[in-house]
Chains A and B, each alone.
Chain A
C-alpha cells in the first residue's frame, strides 16, 4: 500500500470506523449503508484537509467509491 493509499484509508476509517482496511478499499455508496449525504460531506472535508485539495461542486457527485476518491486525489493533490 503506497503512502497516498494509506492516508486515504485513514481518512475513510475516521468516517467509517466500523470498516476494516479491505472493506475500505472496496467501499462505495452502494456497499456501505452508512455512506449517506452527511457522511459524504464529512469524508470529502477530511480528504480535502488531508491532501490540500479543493473538490469542486461538479466533481462531488462522482466521488462515490474509494477508488473514485483515490483517482481524484492522485490527479489533483500537490505532489
Chain B
C-alpha cells in the first residue's frame, strides 16, 4: 500500500455507530507513517469498523508498555527494534562500539529483554498482544567482517529468540512471522537511514506498509475454513486407481510423484489439527478400500470421513459430506486435479472455494500447500480439535440407533454412558470457550460475537458467570462443547450468550445445562437474550419447545415449566468450580 492511499483509507468516514477497535502501538521510535499504515490496513480489512491507533513516548518502549492500564485499549501492538534492547544497537545514540563495550551491550540488551518480557506478559493478561521482533539490520558494531557472524551477534539473536519463544507460549500473545515478513519485505531495503536521522522513523515506506499488513492480518484474523474435501486419483496419489491398480498408484521421489506424498502429509497434518477431511472420488469402492490398506500411505483412512466413492457427480458426494459434517459450503475447500470436476462442484456450491491440484507444476503445488495452511491456520490447536472427526464419525451412529420405536432415543442415550462436566470459573485465557462464543453455530442464542476486549470486560464484571460444558460417552470424548455466559440475581438467571457445538446435538445436553443451572443457582426463572439469526434454528426450536410464550428478546422459562417439558436425562454429572 502506498502512503497516499493509506492516508486516504485512514481518513475514510465510518458510520458513527460502527464498533471501535482501539489499538495501542508501542514502539521506541517515532511511529509516524507506521501509525497511518496500521490504521489503514485495519480499516481495509474491516471497512465497517473503526480503528483508532494511539502511540506512546519516543525512546521508551518498556515504559510505554508498563504504563498501559486495563481498559486503555482493545489490542496492544509491540514493535521492537534492536535499539529498544540497548540504544547502542541503534544509530541515533553515540554510546560507543569499542570491542570492550560489546559484552556490556549484550548484557544490557538481555536485561532489557527481561524487563520487556515482564511488561508484555502483564499487559497480555488483559489484552490481546501482537509482537514484531527486530526487523532491521544490526549496525556494524562488531569487529567481524559482515560475512562473518560475530559471537556477540549470535548471542543477541539467540536471546531475542528465547525472549520471543517464551512470550509465544502465552495464549494471548501472537508473534509476527519473520519468514513471512522476509518474503514481502526484502531485508536489504527496509532501513531508511536518512529518515531515522532526520525524524527518528527508521523504516522505508514499503517496509512500514508490509509490517502493518502482517499486524492487521494477525489482529483481524480471518475465520479459518473448517473442512477439506479431496479427490483421490492424480490428487491424493498419482495415477488412476482403476487403470494402474492398487500398486500402480504412487507418491514417492523415485517415481517423480513426491508432491502427492507431500500433499498426503499436509492433509494428515490438517486433520490432526482439527480440520474435517473427507474424500469425494469417482472410483470403485472396493479398490479404494484396498488402496487405503497400503501401509505406505501417509494419511490413514481414520483421518478421512466420510470417504464418498461412486461413479456419480462429485457434487452429490460433496452434498453428503457437508450433511455428515453439518457445516456450510462456504467453510469448505474442494480440491481436485480436474477442472471439469471443480466446475461441476462450483456450479452446485458457488460459495465453496474449489482449488485445482496442479499435478504437473511443482511451483504451483508449493503455492497450494502454503495457501491451504493459510486457509486452515488457527492461532492455537485445542484438545477438542484432536477429536472433532472422531466425534462426527460417532455421531453418525446416533440416528441409526434412534430409528424405530419412539423410545429408542431414550434407550440409546441410556446406553451411551454419557458424562456431562460443568465448569464454573472465569478463565479469561480459556481459548476454547472464547472460540466457541464466536462461532456462527446453529445452536447460538443470538449470534453476538465478543472480541478479546469485550470478553475480558464481561468476565471482569463480578455479577457475571462463565459456564463451560464438556461431554464424553462410550463412543469417545467430544471435549468442551458448550459455553454459557450469564448473570444471576436472587432466584432469577439471565443467559446472555449460549453456544453449543453442533457435534453435541441430540444428546439432551442443552436440557441438562438448564437443569443444572436451575439446581446449582437455586433459580426459579431463567431469561434468555435470544435473537433469531440466519442459522440458529436449532436453538429457536429448542427454546420454543420449552418456553411458555413466543420467543422475543426476553424469552424466559420457569422452573416448573422446564420440569414439565424436560425429557428424561441419563447423563452422569460432574461439576468443577474454578475461582
Contact in complex: A46, B198 (CB < 8 Å): no
Q: How far is the CA of A46 from the CA of B32 in the complex (A)?
A: 12
Query: Nearest CB to that of A54 among chain B residues?
Result: B194
Contact in complex: A57, B4 (CB < 8 Å): no
Contact in complex: B194, A50 (CB < 8 Å): no
Contact in complex: A41, B199 (CB < 8 Å): yes
Q: How far is the CA of A15 from the CA of B33 in the complex (A)?
A: 12
Q: How far is the CA of A37 from the CA of B79 in the complex (A)?
A: 24
Residues on A with beta carbons closer than 8 Å to the beta carbon of B201: 41
Which of A14, A38, A60: most chain B Cβ within 10 A?
Answer: A14
Contact in complex: A57, B3 (CB < 8 Å): no
Instruction: Assess A46 versus B4: contact at CB under 8 Å? Given A41-B32, A57-B197, A57-B198.
Output: yes
Residues on B with beta carbons closer than 8 Å to the beta carbon of A56: 194
Q: How far is the CA of A38 from the CA of B11 in the complex (A)?
A: 17
User: In chain A, residues 35-79, which have Cβ atoms closer than 8 Å to a Cβ of chain B?
Assistant: 38, 41-42, 45-46, 49-50, 54, 56-57, 60
Query: Nearest CB to that of B208 among chain A residues?
Result: A45
Q: How far is the CA of A42 from the CA of B201 in the complex (A)?
A: 11
User: In chain B, residues 177-198, which have Cβ atoms closer than 8 Å to a Cβ of chain A?
Assistant: 194-195, 197-198
Instruction: Assess A10 versus B199: contact at CB under 8 Å? Given A45-B33, A49-B205.
Output: no
Contact in complex: B32, A49 (CB < 8 Å): no
Q: How far is the CA of A38 from the CA of B32 in the complex (A)?
A: 8
Residues on A with beta carbons closer than 8 Å to the beta carbon of B36: 42
Q: How far is the CA of A79 from the CA of B286 in the complex (A)?
A: 70
Task: Identify whether the interface residues of B are mostly helix, strand, loop, or mixed.
Answer: helix
Contact in complex: A14, B8 (CB < 8 Å): yes
B247 within 8 A of A: no
Residues on A with beta carbons closer than 8 Å to the beta carbon of B33: 42, 45
Min Cβ gap A47→B in Å is: 9
Q: How far is the CA of A49 from the CA of B7 in the complex (A)?
A: 13
Contact in complex: B198, A10 (CB < 8 Å): no
Q: How far is the CA of A50 from the CA of B3 in the complex (A)?
A: 9
Query: Nearest CB to that of B201 among chain A residues?
Result: A41
Query: Nearest CB to that of A41 among chain B residues?
Result: B199
Q: How far is the CA of A5 from the CA of B4 in the complex (A)?
A: 16
Residues on B with beta carbons closer than 8 Å to the beta carbon of A24: none
Write 11 A-B pairs (CB below 8 A) sorted by A numbering: A14-B3, A41-B201, A42-B3, A45-B3, A45-B205, A46-B4, A46-B7, A49-B2, A49-B205, A54-B194, A60-B198
Q: Which residues of B contact A (CB under 8 A)?
A: 2-4, 7-8, 11, 32-33, 36, 194-195, 197-199, 201, 205
Task: Supply 10 further A-B pairs (C-beta < 8 A) apart from A46-B7, A50-B2.
Answer: A14-B8, A17-B11, A38-B32, A45-B3, A45-B33, A46-B3, A49-B3, A49-B4, A49-B205, A60-B198
